[in-house]
Structure 1
Amino acid sequence: MRRVAVALAVLLVLASVPLPVTAHANHITAGAQVTPDGTLVVDGIYLTSDGYLTVHRDDGGEPGERIGVTEVTPRSFRSNLRVGIDQRAWEGWETGDVHLLVRSDDGDGTFDPETDPVIESFGSPVAATITVEKGDRAVVTAAQQYTQQTRRGTLDVRSLTTPTDGYLVVSNTDTGERVGTESVAAGTHEHVTVALDGDERGDVRLDATLHRGDGDGGIGEPLRAGETPVGATFTVERTGGGRGGSTATSTPTPALVTTPTASETGTTSETGTAGTTTGEPTSATQPGFGLLVGGAAIALLVSGYRRQ
């Protein structure tokens, strides 16, 4: 019975540990953004093998002409990866959607759209569709691989860039209720902490969007790429009540270039999602994983009693 109790304890601990939302499957997230030079910031990406990320114009809701490509290092979660829209396409750019497609290399180490296929997951392409507008840079990234846990009722936003003084507003994705705000100065900020209202516990999806000031010290309209607010979506597990957040510290805006060379950083922090994605694997924080572990624990317990 002692062995059963130990095994049961291990399983229950596993059920409570935050695991990668992407579960080490091919995955990409990105959000609507404004860019001055055609350089797009991809929130997060993971490939299980050598591959590429291609950018395509929208053609009636489907990927059309390819207008950008970058190589992606496999087997490592990459955040804030840059991919440039080709200069010729960018010169006459009009606000619209682009499709980001994840492709696998056919083994020759050279990109060829004819032989390097789009990766699929659960029957759908691993891709993201985002709105892109030309202008002063505005972007928010979650850039997180694990469900974000908070005991103090705060949300950590990995990075953001805003062209104007304003606010980062956090709302419940499902209800639209505003649950937190933080003032931000124009520029680039890392790890912005936003205090969340309420003391409820459990998993919740939150949208963090950039807003202008209204001129009187209040919150104005959201910054948009076309008609889409600039922001990111997070999955958060609240395990405790709220406290006050800290003011973001401004850092110099990094120079971005429109080249197909990836500029990326790895991360092992918490997970969020951003933008519209397809081919996204089931989250380890969703009911399926917990039920499997819970079921195994019950089976062990019953087995132990039967041996008595």
Structure 2
Amino acid sequence: MRRDAPPGPATVPGVQQSLLDAGPSRPRVERQAVTRTFDGITCYEVPARVAIDQVPEAAELPYLWAASPYRGCEAGCRYCMARRGHRYLGLDAGEDFASRIVVKTNLADRLRRELSSPRWHGETVALGLTGDCYQPAEETYQLMPRVVRAFTDAANPFTVLTKSPLVLRDLDLLRDAAKVTQVTAAVSVGFVDDRIRRAVEPGAASPQRRLEICATLNDAGIPCGVLMAPILPLITDSADHLQATVRRAADAGAVSITPIVLRLPSGAREWYMSWLEREHPGLVPRYQALYGKAPTADPAYRQRIADQVHGLAEAYGIGQAARRWRRRRTPTKQLTLV
């Protein structure tokens, strides 16, 4: 049974109500937040009014519910769909997104209340849609261990979305959680060309490092798939690019692969297209034809790419031996001796 709304004010990832009205010279988030600066990154510490957000259907993501300790992301991916959320805080969707990070310091406590609410029906929650939950700020704030324990104590399934090797810090906690509930992970690897990564994902780990994370998690018993996101039209959508990425995902033991073609909602569109105009001006008219004024590419194009990736995944055997979660025996339930 699904609940109809989160146990609190309705929000969606990246589109949260303004914290306070903006003044003429200060971002509105500064009116409420405790502001700290670490290594040139400004962090706004705020209380989470809502922990679990409903993922809008328009996002076209394979998740219904999400929770995020951070808004903004130091990886600074030019295409990130969460960029527009910074505008609701009086920040810009460009440089501010990677250099001004909102930190929900009480997220774990809020999660515990919502997960125990009778209105919540134990559905899977994705962690990290509005900013990588293991980005560098996590080394300072260490919010994720408490978040993982909240899900563990509630025996509520969750999936971790990340590009960061810092997730391996919490491997023991994830394994403990997997004893009582379904725990999965997904690393985002839209392509394996590191030159392109440096251009559009300047602060993220290399594709090779992310695939190593995938392999390590799978070897540790945490089923990890690959979000092949985003596939960049006319840049990483060639047959060679697609095949190389799927093959490498298969080599890493990915239990699934989900192709997602680049989406360009407001916020991400301006930032990505400014880069495209500067680095690949000849592609701009073709992008305009492919996207028009919509955030998504032409449906026929997206279907063709999805079919190619699914065919490659089948050829390389991805998902054919996916691990199935099974509740393990708890210490209080001893085996009966006959």
Specify if TM > 0.5: no
Which of 1 and 2 has higher RCO (CA within 8 Å, sep 6+)? 1
Instruction: Name whichever structure is richer in helix by fraction.
Output: 2
Shorter-chain TM range is under 0.3
Normalized against structure 2, the TM-score is what? 0.23
Larger of the two Rg values belongs to structure:
1
Instruction: Name whichever structure is richer in strand by fraction.
Output: 1
